[in-house]
Amino acid sequence: MGNRPPQALDVEEAVIGALLIEPSCVDDSVEELTPSSFYSEKHRMIFQAIVSLVNEHSSVDLLTVSQRLRDQGNLEIVGGAQTLAAMTQKVGAAAHIEYYIKILKQKCIQRELITASYDILKNSYDESVNVDQLIDMAQTKIFAAIQNNVKKDVQEIGSVINQAISDIERLQDSTGLSGVPSGFPSLDRITFGWQPSDLIIVAARPSVGKTAFVVNVARNAAVDHHMPVAFFSLEMPAIQLAKRMMVSETGLSADKIKGGTKLERFEWVQLEEKLKDLAKAPLYIDDTPSLPVMEFRSKVKRLVNQKGVRLVIVDYLQLMQGPAELKGMREQEVASISRTLKATAKEMNVPIIALSQLSRDAVKRQGGNNRPQLSDLRESGSIEQDADMVLFIHRYDYQGLNEDASEIGKTDLIIAKHRNGEIGDVPLMFRSSEVRFVDMEETISAQSFMPVSSIMNDGPSDPFAGVPSSSNSEFTNPEF
């Protein structure tokens, strides 16, 4: 008995009996259940016959189901018409059908999890199976077992309207943004913040500042607005990412933060003072390389449930691993990754920002037609299709289009796709010494970050005087 798969044969008979005598039960049952919801093979045959009648818009009752089974050659296999008639006697009340369906779905999930566990166990003993593939397979099977038996109910427009009104009321008492603030006012006026369930793609040529931009976004949400953020850094170790944030936060040079140049005492004070808020921020970094997309999905779910994460960032999409069966089929693999990112954003109701590479043609294109465009997204057209918003970072000085030294760093954040709003350009300025972007509306001045020393009179007025800048600095011109 202990080794028998979870089942409820009496409940299966009660459900079938209810379907045979109560037409009002049929539609809901066919929508909620599948043949695999039944443990008994005979019960599966009967339910499949009922489904075939429903698909043909035929009536479902004892006579029609018996005839359909007879036509299929299965009537005697299931025990004959008398067996069907006996099932109708086991129905306590049609009103209990929802409870019965819930029981069958629970038993089905248990059976599918057991089957998945056996498959995982068998493959775990197989020395020829790659561990990463094994993990991916295990996560896929377990997730599928759960998802296949979970359906979201439709909602009446009245309840949805009430939710919308509550949202509007909440916004009246807040920043006026319905999503997570980006920290760039000009952008937020268009987007109203990063919206829950949206997939946002940020793309640019190499070394333009993709990582710097999303690091700014993560910092703005976590530090300024105390919103939990998950940052999946597939390309850069967590310690290196933290150092980049420290450069932006403290105003100290990249060489100082990297440790190549000794810090003065007043600079240590500046470092400690400026990093207090950053150190306490609800920012969670995962630097797992080549992260399988299903593992990403599991981690996001855990972070949302346990840490209340409101924003997820991926750096970058093409470094994730898709399903093992798509290895070697790069476009299909990237398409699968893109779909999973969107599905995760929708399921967990959080915005996901994913960086993406541009195609080689876009990188090579020069002259007046060098602005990135949607067709430049690398390796898969599905990225554009799945994304709710596509942003391109276009720096003028990177392409040598602007030789005016006073405008070095001028950047257009191009909103090339916006499913629920306007498209257009948002003007930004890239401050390479601080590895950060600022809104053009902000006052741009060299004194934006006043050194602590100038306030404390405990050191030179210019703490960076005499510190050579390194042209090879990963912070000055990072490989983004």
Per-residue pLDDT at 311: 95
Residue 2 in this model has a pLDDT that exceeds 70: no
pLDDT at 478 over 60: no
Determine whether 328 is exposed, middle or buried from the number of CB atoms within 10 Å of its CB (0-12, 13-18, 19+): exposed
With 80 as the cut, is the pLDDT of residue 363 above it? no
pLDDT value, residue 245: 81
Who's near 400: CB < 8 A, 6+ residues apart? none
How far is CA 109 from its chain centroid? 25
* Section 128-154 average pLDDT: 70
Q: How many helices (H) and strands (E) does the chain have?
A: 19, 9
- Find residue 359's DSSP bridge partners: none
Task: Give residue 472's pLDDT band: very low, low, confident or very high (50, 70, 90).
Answer: very low
CATH fold for domain 178-456: Rossmann fold (3.40.50)
Q: Average per-residue pLDDT in the chain?
A: 78
- The per-residue pLDDT for 342 is 92
| Residue 466 confidence (pLDDT) | 34
Supply the pTM of this predicted model.
Answer: 0.62
Per-residue pLDDT, 461: 36
78-119 pLDDT per residue, tens: 999 999 999 888 776 656 788 888 899 889 888 888 888 888
Radius of gyration from C-alpha coordinates of the chain? 29
**Does the structural domain 9-110 have CATH classification 3.50.50.60?**
no
What three-state secondary structure class fits 168? helix
Q: How confident is the model at residue 69 (pLDDT cuts 50, 70, 90)?
A: very high
| Structural contact between residues 247 and 255, judged by C-beta atoms closer than 8 angstroms | no
pLDDT digits (tens, 9 = 90+) for 378-433: 665 788 888 899 999 888 776 555 556 666 778 888 998 998 888 888 888 888 76
Q: Are 87 and 93 in contact (CB under 8 A)?
A: no
Residue 320 clears pLDDT 60, i.e. is over it: yes
137-141 contact pairs (CB < 8 A, 24+): 137/324, 139/292, 139/294, 139/295, 139/297, 139/298, 140/294, 140/323, 141/116
Express each pLDDT in 178-228 by its tens digit: 889 988 888 888 988 999 999 999 988 877 888 889 999 998 899 888 899
Q: Does this chain's domain 9-110 share its CATH topology with 178-456?
A: no
Cis before 125? omega within 30: no
Tell me what pLDDT residue 353 has: 95
Q: Nearest to residue 354, comparing CAs of 423, 422, 300?
A: 300
Check whether 21 has a pLDDT greater than 70. Answer: yes
Give domain limits for the chain: 9-110, 178-456
Give the span between the Cα atoms of 54 and 59, in whole angstroms. Answer: 7
Give the mean pLDDT of 155-159: 71
Structure confidence at residue 355 as a pLDDT band (50, 70, 90): very high
Catalytic residues: 235
Q: What is the pLDDT of residue 44?
A: 92
For position 150, what pLDDT does the model report? 58
- Quick one: pLDDT at residue 450? 42
Q: Which residues contact 55 (CB under 8 A, 6 or more apart)?
A: none
